[in-house]
Structure 1
Amino acid sequence: MSNQVLSKTADFNTSDLKLKGFKVYEVSNDVSAIPTYNRRDFYKICINTSKSFIHYADRGIETDGTILFFGNPHIPYSWEIISPAYNGYACVFTEEFLKANDRSESLHESPLFKIGGTPIFSLSAEQEVFVASLFKRMIEEQETDYVFKDDLIRNYINLIIHESMKMQPTENFFKHKNASSRITSLFLELLERQFPIETKNEPLALKTPQDYAQSLAVHVNHLNRSVKEITGKPTTAHITERIISEAKALLHHTDWSISDIGYSLGFEYPSYFNNYFKRLTGTIPKSLRT
């Protein structure tokens, strides 16, 4: 019996993925792992046949057969394969790619991707054949030079989404026994997913315990109690330490201005960043510049 957590990125350049906006490919125990992305701007749709445990937010599900999974980049998840063999397909894409020229509701509000939704569907043999055929068509299409291939791939993705919305979602979720441990693990994973900061033009999305609690669909008091119980430190301490660590890295390893670094970390004004940094480190950001 195999027992493996599939967390490594599949073998392709993520910067190229961000440029194109999508990537589709086959996954199996003799091809590549099911893609689990740390980047917060990639959505995922996977069809997979195996015996697995999928941990999603503070819930989990045991699967044995073919399932269709919808991953929201704002909700941490992990996929643990139990069976010795697995196979399927995966599609990874940005919201900008899928919603090009489309002003309909955000993917965050989709029943398949929204917080509190059910992202896993069990497929019948007939549904498996149909959905797998759509993935195969996408794989073939992405290698062509057809000028409208992005539109065609968008159509395939939307067809999968609409077919899934007609299905009944899998309901045999189980709650993790140690709720405090699980929510703390999710918080720490989500915290780490905000980094490293890659652009000075997009400020940090999650800055407060309330922001993280909302993303994890729990009350902020429950998050704070859990984190303090498991780690011995308050939620704010973890957030602060990670922001300061990133600030030091940016000061040492980039040529960004101190104002730009502060903005990227969520500080609207340079004086706010300087005061925050000095209060926590005892020195000003400029002192780290050599």
Structure 2
Amino acid sequence: MLSSTAVSPAKLTTQDLKLKGFKIYAVDQPCTTKPHFSRRDYYKVILMTTKARLHYGHQSWELDGTYLLFLNPHIPYSMEMLADLRHGYICLFTEEFITSIDRSESLQQSPLFKIGSAPLFQLREDQVPFMSCIFQKMLAEQEADYPFKDELIRTYLQLAIHEVLHLQPAEAFLQYKNAAARLTAQFLELLEQQFPVESPEQTLPLKTAQEFADRLAVHVNHLNKAVKEVTGKPTSVHITSRITDEAKALLQHTTWSVAEIAYCLGFAYSTYFNNFFKKQTGMTPLACRKS
């Protein structure tokens, strides 16, 4: 139900309509330089007709045709262009944008973005028009004045993701090339299994790199080295980031007290949680809730 204080379309400003955590580009130009995707904190869905070589984690593929690519910011990747032309769309978005309506599972657990899943799907000629239409609609809505365009774009993006799940992947799963990739996937899955936190009485069983290493039966230095090698980030950064994301969700989507949230996220005292949250976000838990 819309609030009676909602802004009417006639009074909307550019700021009111500004999309947060989403951007789509159309690409239709010669390959004068190799693409540089500098925003490594964004997930990407790319619809591209080109000839290129994709390096993703420890795997590489030769692309020749029209593909959908699903790139996870936690996995290092690069693309070498092997043709003079490229055509398509590049869609960037944060996890918060796609999951803002409900506290659904992390994108890292999605069949398309999960570490261990194949990141590319080749489209048949008859599949390209429909998928192109979805991206064209997102591009059009991005520039439109519709007050709920973020919800509409989110729906189009989710439609593209679900449509792809019906397609035949280039490979069902990536084959881990080494033990580091396998261990990193196990760590990230174990991390995600702890979320979402469903009640104030629930507490996180694993909160430190040492606890994760013990559960995985490896030395903590070995775990840290593997995770840094595969993702470019230390184990502690992944843990801290995920706890921070959950803290934001609990502050915004529950009526639990700060003390209850601090307890279920593993902080012995609210002051410890307040200091942690402010260091990670630049604001206090109460300020986050009010915003």
Establish whether residue 146 from structure 1 lines up as the match of residue 167 from structure 2: no
Aligned to 2:135: 135
Any conservation in 2 of the 1:27–1:34 contact (CA below 8 Å)? no
Give CA-to-partner distance per residue, 1:125-156, whole Å, 9 cap, x none.
Answer: 12111111111111111101101111110111
Q: Which 4+ stretches in 1 moved above 3 angstroms?
A: 28-35, 172-177, 207-212, 218-227
Taking structure 2 as the reference length, what is the TM-score of the superposition? 0.54
Establish whether residue 124 from structure 1 lines up as the match of residue 124 from structure 2: yes
Aligned to 1:165: 165
Q: Residues of 1 paired with 2:84 and 2:211: CA distance?
A: 41
Q: Residues of 2 paired with 1:28 and 1:219: CA distance?
A: 49
Q: Residues of 2 paired with 1:131 and 1:71: CA distance?
A: 17
Unaligned runs of 5+ in 1: 1-17, 184-206, 213-217, 240-259, 266-290
Give CA-to-partner distance per residue, 1:77-124, whole Å, 9 cap, x none.
Answer: 111111111111011011111112223222111000001011100001
Aligned to 2:49: 49
What's the offset of the Cα at 1:36?
A: 1.6
Any conservation in 1 of the 2:121–2:169 contact (CA below 8 Å)? yes
Q: Residues of 1 paired with 2:137 and 2:111: CA distance?
A: 25
Q: How many residues align?
A: 195
Which amino acid is 2:49 matched to? T
Unaligned runs of 5+ in 2: 1-17, 182-207, 238-274, 281-291
Which amino acid is 2:134 matched to? L
Secondary structure of 1:125's aligned partner: coil
Any conservation in 2 of the 1:44–1:71 contact (CA below 8 Å)? yes
Any conservation in 2 of the 1:56–1:77 contact (CA below 8 Å)? yes
Any conservation in 1 of the 2:134–2:160 contact (CA below 8 Å)? yes
Identity of aligned residues (%): 46
Q: Residues of 2 paired with 1:210 and 1:87: CA distance?
A: 47
What's the offset of the Cα at 1:171?
A: 2.3
Any conservation in 2 of the 1:25–1:89 contact (CA below 8 Å)? yes
Give CA-to-partner distance per residue, 1:182-240, whole Å, 9 cap, x none.
Answer: 98xxxxxxxxxxxxxxxxxxxxxxx969989xxxxx9988778889xx9xxxx99xx9x
Secondary structure of 1:132's aligned partner: helix
Q: Residues of 1 paired with 2:175 and 2:36: CA distance?
A: 24
Any conservation in 1 of the 2:66–2:128 contact (CA below 8 Å)? yes
Aligned to 1:37: 38
Any conservation in 1 of the 2:27–2:90 contact (CA below 8 Å)? yes
Evaluate the alpha carbon distance shift between residue 225 and residue 94 of structure 1 in structure 2; reply closer, same or farther with a 3 A threshold.
closer
